[in-house]
Structure 1
Amino acid sequence: MRLLLVEDSDRLTELLKESVHGAGWRIDAVGSLEDARNALASGEHDLLVLDLGLPDGNGIDLLKELRAGGVSLPTLIVTAMGDVESRIAGLDAGADDYLAKPFHHREFLARCRALARRGGTSAAPVLSAGRLRYDPATAALTCDGTVIPLPPRERQLAELLMRDVDRVVSKRRLESALSEYEEILSTNALELAVSRLRKRFAEVPAGAVIETVRGIGYMLRTLAP
């Protein structure tokens, strides 16, 4: 799952990034309505987390624009304005949920999961390759039912390769998918993640191997039983 966070507090942004990465999701963060509009134009996000008091306007205006344009992207408002009238205004403008600051990060993640289920993210099928299974709803990678602990980037890489098992996935596509807003993943970082994941799969063993297709990218190939 990929979130877009629209929040002008650097401190809160860093805290939420840490929580989201820990859950195995990706997050792009911007601090203004203008940057949010540009980021949303990509259509790559599964959930919008929106502050209301932003430097160039009210997040409600962006939300109304989206809904008027037929965009149904699940949206969670996070704001210091937690009075009843503000909550009603946010929900009436098209928000799917509303969370007043301060809040606990576990509640934030729980609300994100609930919105993802509502938006269809959790309906995605469980992926399989060899003895591996990946559940997009929980971001859990398992081998014969046992969870394989992985850092967020390697877990996301495993998901991307398993979505195209036995097919070549280009380096450019992987770098783009694993990058976050204005933070492009380097080729060296991708190669390091592949190397670590390849080693982890060999240790399990996973019944699948990551092959390098020179000059193109990588392929997760299933092994014969």
Structure 2
Amino acid sequence: MTYAYKLMDSPVGQLKLVAKDEHLAAILWEHDKPNRVRLGEMVEANESAVLLETERQLREYFAGTRQRFDLPLDFQGTEFQKKVWHALLTIPFGQTRSYTEIAQQVGNVNAVRAVGAANGRNPISIVAPCHRVIGASGELTGFAGGLANKMLLLSLEAGQTSLEAAADDGQRCDVVREATQATRAAKNNAPAKATRHPPSRGTQGSLFGS
């Protein structure tokens, strides 16, 4: 099976968009580990319709004008991994889940470590929002795109910034600093903007408040 790819410059680094036939199969980070996502041979295809549409929707997302993606997806992995990745798609924009919550959602509360491993191998980054999965106490955990990018994405979804507008290095550093402060506040259960409501209240938790 040959995969088609297109490179895209973005506020979170160069992304590699990968298609299988007419479906999006992967969004890989600029410094992704070579074996994190196992795909077959790739050929560059800058005119691929699905990759052009993926790029268009990603640019809208980075500009702060898109909250949901509408793309045909083709996840390549084990059945358990696919369950986890499909669970990621149900996390609403601007909200977060813990690994335990995802384990409960896929029907195995004891599979927290396996959920973490599957989350780390999510092939379709950003669109399948593994950046919205955080530690139970609110801390940011490992992320294939780097923790700075994870903070940027969560900050964007909190309505704190447009990444397209903050693409230069100086503004990007400010965004990272603000996101870091909000994350620390959430971890320390600060009462103001950055409170992540625990799932026991029956509400869906958000790392950053409105």
TM-score of the aligned structures, taking structure 2 as reference length: 0.31
More helix by share: 1
Calculate the TM-score normalised by the size of structure 1.
0.29
Relative contact order, CA 8 A, sep 6+: which one is greater? 2
Q: Which has the higher strand share?
A: 1
